[in-house]
Structure 1
Amino acid sequence: MSTFMTVQEAADELKVSRWMIYQLIWANEVRSVTVGRCRRIVRKSFEDYVSDLIEVA
């Protein structure tokens, strides 16, 4: 498993739009990095966010 995932991969996993993933990035809910012109989400940060969602539910 890689350290990073694309915005589209994160959106597909949560079954939400890419726009929603960008909102999570801007709200500092998930961490991301820019590689050239591409935005990549730190997989560990994404997994932690999903775990928190499950705990709150």
Structure 2
Amino acid sequence: MTSRLNPDDQRHVEEYLQLAQHRVERRPFRPWMLLVIVLTITIGLGLLSRLISYLTL
């Protein structure tokens, strides 16, 4: 893909992206893990609300 920046600006962008704070290794995104976490929190809060309603009635 060609850049629409002039060569000098493109060089500045490349230098900026090579700084240490922009080279952080990240684990791959796992959507199934996110789904499990969201479902666990939702079920846990649902059970907590049933427990609270049972104790107050």
Common fold by TM > 0.5: no
**Which structure carries more relative contact order (alpha carbon 8 Å, separation 6+)?**
1
Normalising by structure 1, we get a TM-score of 0.28
Identify, as 1 or 2, the structure richer in helix.
2
The structure with the largest alpha-carbon Rg is: 2
TM-score, reference length from structure 2:
0.28
Greater share of strand:
1
